[in-house]
Amino acid sequence: MHLIIRATGAGAGMLSHLLAKNPNNLYDRTEKEARVRIVFTASSEEVTEAVIYVTPDPVELVKGDSQAHNDITQYINDREFVTSSLFCTYIRAALGTALNGKPKEAYVHWVKEPLELALSFGPVASNLPDHTVEELFGALGYEVSLERGDAEYTFALKARSSARYIRLKGKQTLQTALQQLFVLIPALDDYKHYYISDDEVDKIRRYGAGWLEQHPQRALILKRTLRFGGAIRQYEEMAAKELRTAGGGPGAPADIPVLEESAPGGSAEPPGVQEAPKVRLNDLRYEAIARTVGELDERASIVDFGSGEGKLSARLSSVPGVREIRAVEPSAASQLRAMERFAKLEGRTGTVVPEPVTGSLFYFDESLRGRDVMILCEVIEHIDEHRLDRVMDTIFGQYGPKTLIVTTPNKDYNTVYGMEQEEIRHGDHRFEWGREAFSAWCSRWTGAFPYAAEITGIGEGSAEYGYPTQMAVFTRGEQLQ
């Protein structure tokens, strides 16, 4: 992970003074378990370039996490490599003088002097489409170019890769440019590794002063940096107070809808356009699946694949006629939380306690074969499309459940949430299908195996865009081929 700052033309030589770094010396420090180095690759009155390079300690990244030793997924992430909120945390101390605009007295007047800057940083892992990334920086007056790595793939993934290098060119003060990056880099990544407190709200207010209030993507930036409605409202109140103090007139900017955070094993859901729904879409999904299971003639044995923390399995435990539930999940941390949830069901009349099973859709488990019901609730969109065929072949051809229930987001409905065409609801989604694509996918499998499929919707429907969640119920015929 790196950031390159290059100044050219008038005042370029002031870059080292504004950064408070000697261009002839290597800056090499350890900040928060990461090695931070700054080296000047050019230093003259015409061109000065500083390269900031960070190498985190991958072991320290998971130390102190009480759940880390239980979950192999801690090793399968990009936190060690991508330019994210972690990167900003690592370099904040090194760039504190420039961020706060407090160089030595002889150079203070240069804090407010715009420089011809070229900023390059990455890789950034973002679920935002290219045009949205370009809008975020273009609105600030930068020329924006995006680059992807040179790796070659055997299938067309490069163009869809979320990892990009971002290059910006424009005339801006160094302090403002850095403050913009410290707000927008975490917004691009949409991941915060720390608790969002009052200090975080104040930081966004300070770093966003003079540009964030007028940014056309302001709602998106706040949603992805502050994340929660309470924090955003706190920011709005502070901004409105400052506006009134400055004589800008009464009234705060409009409230901004918030994208709910996803729980492990679940999917984040956008809010309604006018107001947050009284019932969460996740709860509506569980209710619809439980109702569907309750109406089946054969429902004694259930396999809940990708069960996460066990919320759906726990909901199904009280459905009459259900005798066995196997909650299959690869994440040990999620399973521990599921076990705590299942333990609370012990001794309840008319309730079957689900059995946690460590497993994956990519590994065949003979014990799951021939069950009455198999469920994939918000699971398939987390699987690469080119790997999904193998999963479905295994389910229909080897597990052969009497009924398979699949739910997945309806991409058509994203328009109702005000999302861009290329935008997806959750950073881990590999794809999202509209109604036509989902219907065609279901027809493909009913044509290949002796199953019939019924497609329905879940949530508040739209005459034009359908329902936020689409559900397919595959029912096996009398004879398996």
Per-residue pLDDT tens, the chain, 481 aa: give them: 899 999 999 999 999 999 999 999 999 998 877 899 999 999 999 999 999 999 887 766 666 554 444 555 555 556 667 777 888 888 999 999 999 999 999 999 999 999 999 999 988 888 788 888 999 999 999 999 998 866 565 555 555 567 789 999 999 999 999 999 999 988 888 665 555 667 788 888 889 988 998 899 988 888 888 877 677 788 777 777 766 665 554 444 444 333 333 333 334 444 444 444 456 888 999 999 999 999 999 999 999 999 999 999 999 999 999 999 999 999 888 889 999 999 999 989 989 999 999 999 999 999 999 999 999 999 999 998 999 999 999 999 999 999 999 999 999 998 888 877 777 888 778 899 999 999 999 999 999 999 999 999 999 899 999 999 999 999 998 644 4
2-194 belongs to CATH 2.40.128.20:
no
Residues 40, 22: Cα–Cα separation, whole Å: 9
Residues of the chain with CATH 3.40.50.150: 281-476
Peptide bond just before 123 cis, omega within 30 deg: yes
Q: What is the DSSP string of 358-399?
A: E--TTS--GGGTT-SEEEEES-GGGS-HHHHHHHHHHIIIII
Residues of the chain with CATH 3.30.1610.20: 2-194
Nearest partner of 188 among 138, 123, 232, judged by Cα: 123
Written as six digits, the tokens of 125 are: 């892992």
281-476 belongs to CATH 3.40.50.150:
yes
Residues 326, 201: Cα–Cα separation, whole Å: 43
The model carries a pTM of 0.56
CA distances from 379 to 226, 263, 266, 360 (A): 27, 13, 8, 11
Q: What is the DSSP string of 205-246?
A: HHHTTTTTTT-TTHHHHHHHHT-SHHHHHHHHHHHHHHHHHT
SS3 342: helix
Helix pair angle (174-189, 218-225), 10° resolution: 70
* Cβ-based neighbours of 40, under 8 Å, separated by 6 or more: 16, 21, 23, 24, 48, 49, 50, 51
The enclosing H or E element of 315 equals helix 311-316
